[in-house]
């Protein structure tokens, strides 16, 4: 097997948005596609890279509005975020992938499994939901970020994304996440908030046929355990694992998260 191969670049979607991507790991290994949460970027997966690139060609990308990807003005839709992934895979000549997404990334994963099932082998949905109402709360967040920028929101998000004990014990793990939040384009963040506001897959999640692992956080205030449980119950044959963590469970429980995903993806 060829040793670690790195590659990175941009793909331009049909509506002219440049999407940043990066690959790490053996060139001939199966592809594992990772999708980031709202307000972060592809580097949120740094805690898992060393473990996952042993077995997979890991493909990361920045959701539109995040990281090095473009941030077009206006409201986005989950359909558009899902199409970004399809166009990325088409541009890179990749027929199908294993997929792991957290929060917004997990919503994108649900869309793919419902709308483009042939593109997925196995699916991991972490700290996510099929519906996150009410719309008025997202409208208020959109107005706030447009008026005040990311700084106030970034601080509030970090406080919700990690348990108090972890925040006190592991500031070095949280610092990169806080920096990603601060650097997120306000228009891009608002655009993705609109996609979440308008999303409702509570009925269509039952159409997901890919083998699915749902990962939740027992102390997650953003997508509480009831959301993970509802998602797992909606997807026939899915498996639910709860980690002792808040919203970014892959950062707070990096080894347990990496192991759970590897075990699931390695099953025959």
- Residue range(s) defining the domain that contains residue 108: 7-265
Question: Which residue spans within the chain are E strands per DSSP?
Answer: 7-12, 18-24, 31-35, 57-61, 97-102, 120-126, 212-217, 239-243
Number of domains in the chain: 1
**Does residue 52 sit within a domain?**
yes
pLDDT in tens, 74-126: 999 999 999 999 999 999 999 999 999 999 999 999 999 999 999 999 999 99
| pLDDT over 80 at 268, yes or no | no
The CATH number of whichever domain residue 200 belongs to comes to 3.40.50.1820
Mean pLDDT, residues 185-200:
98
| pLDDT over 70 at 180, yes or no | yes
**Does residue 35 sit within a domain?**
yes
* Cis peptide bond prior to 134, omega within 30° of 0: yes
Q: Which of 24, 208, 16, 25 is CA-nearest to residue 125?
A: 208
Residue 35 pairs with which residues in a beta bridge?
Answer: 61, 101
**Does residue 2 sit within a domain?**
no
Strand duo 97-102 + 120-126: pairing: parallel
**Does residue 1 sit within a domain?**
no
The three-state secondary structure class of 126 is: strand
């Amino acid at each position: 097997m060829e040793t670690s191969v790195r590659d990175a670049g941009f793909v331009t979607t049909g509506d002219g948005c440049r999407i940043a991507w990066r690959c790490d790991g053996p060139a001939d290994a199966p592809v594992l596609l990772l999708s980031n949460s709202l307000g972060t970027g592809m580097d949120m997966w740094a805690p898992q890279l060393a473990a996952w690139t042993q077995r997979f060609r890991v493909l990361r990308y920045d959701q539109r509005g995040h990281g090095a990807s473009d941030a077009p003005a206006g409201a986005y839709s989950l359909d558009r975020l899902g199409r970004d992934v399809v166009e990325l895979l088409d541009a890179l000549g990749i027929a199908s992938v294993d997929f792991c997404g957290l929060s917004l990334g997990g919503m994108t994963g649900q869309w793919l499994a419902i709308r483009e099932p042939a593109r997925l082998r196995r699916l991991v949905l972490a700290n996510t939901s099929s519906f996150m109402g009410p719309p008025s709360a997202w409208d208020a967040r959109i107005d706030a970020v447009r008026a005040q920028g990311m700084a106030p929101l970034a601080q509030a998000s970090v406080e919700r994304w990690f348990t108090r004990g972890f925040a006190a014990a592991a500031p070095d793990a949280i610092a990169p996440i806080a920096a990603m939040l601060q650097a997120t384009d306000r228009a891009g963040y608002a655009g993705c908030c609109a996609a979440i506001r308008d999303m409702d897959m509570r009925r269509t999640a039952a159409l997901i046929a890919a083998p699915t692992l749902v990962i939740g956080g027992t102390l997650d205030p953003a997508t509480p355990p009831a959301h993970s449980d509802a998602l797992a119950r909606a997807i026939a044959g899915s498996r639910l694992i709860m980690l002792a963590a808040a919203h970014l469970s892959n950062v707070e429980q990096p080894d347990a998260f990496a192991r759970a995903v590897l075990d699931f993806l390695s099953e025959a």
